[in-house]
Amino acid sequence: DAKTTQPNSMESNEEEPVHLPCNHSTISGTDYIHWYRQLPSQGPEYVIHGLTSNVNNRMASLAIAEDRKSSTLILHRATLRDAAVYYCILRGLYNQGGKLIFGQGTELSVKP
Amino acid sequence: GAGVSQSPRYKVAKRGQDVALRCDPISGHVSLFWYQQALGQGPEFLTYFQNEAQLDKSGLPSDRFFAERPEGSVSTLKIQRTQQEDSAVYLCASSLGIRVGGHYNEQFFGPGTRLTVL
């Protein structure tokens, strides 16, 4: 699976939007872009995924660049509960069983 | 509904002891994964089961690590002769294991077992 690059940490103020970037310049045409997050002392949880088009769900939005070499996870109004490590992961079409290859992720802190 | 559960939540072992970590996946989930997460790092894949078959064990760090899922539901990760470098959080995840458009659906993670080897 192709590698992703994310900033180590980001800060946000409560109730403001947050844009978490991810670079994946070696992405292949069949790689899906997934985001998981890990709250303190918990296992990771799924946030959102996409292939080419922008995606929205109740948790977040995913904006994918036209060339697919980067993407941005958007939290529209950060809450204190959104403080977590956010992982951007590429999952290949023929990935055995769909195992996840995590990087370092971005640690998001949210200030009240 | 119940999520993925893991037990024990915390385990302290003396170096050289054997440990067994249990994972109860979500009922009906075909796929089960084990990951190891060292302090300050992202989780790293250890092994993968589809029902009772262990299809990928490429991430197991040594032959001291052994995983099983004999009836295709509960899984146990066993570590023999524990070493200090085995200290980590061990995460279990399960998924339906269904491909939709060639793509696997999301994984649901348990809270992990924190193993400390003294």
CA distance B108 to B87: 23
- Min distance B47 CA to chain A CA atoms (Å): 9
The predicted structure's pLDDT at residue B103: 63
The predicted structure's pLDDT at residue B1: 57
**CB neighbourhood size of B47 (10 A):** 25
Sort A103 into a burial class: Cβ within 10 Å, 0-12 / 13-18 / 19+.
Answer: middle
CA distance A22 to B37: 21
Query: Which of A63-77, A87-101, B19-33 is predicted with the least confidence, judged by mean pLDDT?
Result: A87-101
Residues from chain A that touch B103, judged by Cβ atoms under 8 A, are 32, 51, 91, 93, 98
The predicted structure's pLDDT at residue A67: 95
pLDDT, greater one: A104 or B101: A104
CA distance A88 to A3: 10
Residue A53, CA distances (Å) to A32, A58, A59, A63, B72 in order? 11, 17, 17, 8, 36
Phi first, then psi: give them for residue A82, nearest 5 degrees.
-85, -5
**Locus of tokens 């539901």:** B73
Contacts for A55 with CB less than 8 Å, ≥ 6 apart: A48, A49, A61, A62, A64
Phi first, then psi: give them for residue B52, nearest 5 degrees.
-90, -5
Average pLDDT score, chain B: 94
Q: What angle do CA B39, B45, B46 make, to 5 degrees?
A: 100
- Is the pLDDT at B10 greater than 70? The verdict is yes
- Min distance A106 CA to chain B CA atoms (Å): 10
CA distance B96 to B107: 8
Best of A28, A96, A99 to substitute, by most chain B Cβ atoms within 10 angstroms, is: A99
The predicted structure's pLDDT at residue B63: 95
Task: Count interface pairs A-B at CB distance under 8 A.
Answer: 69
Q: pLDDT per residue over B61-104, tens digit each? A: 999 999 999 999 999 999 999 999 999 999 999 998 776 665 66
A43 vs B97, B103, B109: nearest CB: B109
Q: pLDDT per residue over A2-61, tens digit each? A: 689 999 999 999 999 999 999 999 998 888 999 999 999 999 999 999 999 999 999 899
**Locus of tokens 């659906």:** B105
The predicted structure's pLDDT at residue A5: 95
- Is the pLDDT at A95 greater than 70? The verdict is no
Q: Which two tokens stand for residue B95?
A: 């998924």
Q: Name the closest residue on chain B to residue A92, using Cα atoms.
A: B103
**Residue A5 three-state SS:** strand
Query: Which of A23-27, A72-76, A78-82, B97-101 is predicted with the least confidence, judged by mean pLDDT?
Result: B97-101
**Locus of tokens 């991430």:** B59
Residues 60-89 of B with CB under 8 A from A: none
CA distance A6 to B66: 33
Contact between A35 and A49 (Cβ < 8 Å): yes
Asked if the Cβ–Cβ distance from A105 to B42 is below 8 Å, we say yes
Residues from chain A that touch B109, judged by Cβ atoms under 8 A, are 42-45
Q: Which two tokens stand for residue B60?
A: 């197991």
Q: Name the closest residue on chain B to residue A88, using Cα atoms.
A: B42
**CB neighbourhood size of A23 (10 A):** 16
**Averaged pLDDT for residues B9-13:** 98
pLDDT, greater one: B77 or B1: B77
